[in-house]
Amino acid sequence: GAGVSQSPSNKVTEKGKDVELRCDPISGHTALYWYRQSLGQGLEFLIYFQGNSAPDKSGLPSDRFSAERTGGSVSTLTIQRTQQEDSAVYLCASSPRGIITEAFFGQGTRLTVV
Partner 1 sequence: DAKTTQPPSMDCAEGRAANLPCNHSTISGNEYVYWYRQIHSQGPQYIIHGLKNNETNEMASLIITEDRKSSTLILPHATLRDTAVYYCIVRVWGLTGGGNKLTFGTGTQLKVEL
15 Cβ contact partners less than 8 Å away, ≥ 6 residues apart: 82, 83, 84, 113, 114
Q: Cα–Cα distances in Å, from 17 out to 11, 31, 113?
A: 12, 29, 9
**Least distance to partner 1, CB of residue 92, Å:** 8
Q: Considering only residues 12-71, where is the footprint of partner 1 by CB under 8 A? A: 31, 33, 35, 40-43, 45, 48, 56, 59
Residues that contact partner 1, how many (by CB under 8 A): 26
- Residue closer to partner 1, measured from CB, 28 or 42: 42
Say how far apart CA 83 and CA 93 lie, in whole Å. Answer: 24
Range in contact with partner 1 (rule: CB under 8 A) among 14-22, 63-71, 77-85, 90-98: 90-98
CA-nearest of 107, 111, 114 to 20 is 111
- Residue closer to partner 1, measured from CB, 18 or 102: 102
Say how far apart CA 114 and CA 106 lie, in whole Å. Answer: 24
Q: Which residues bind partner 1 (CB under 8 A)?
A: 4, 31, 33, 35, 40-43, 45, 48, 56, 59, 91, 93, 98-108, 110
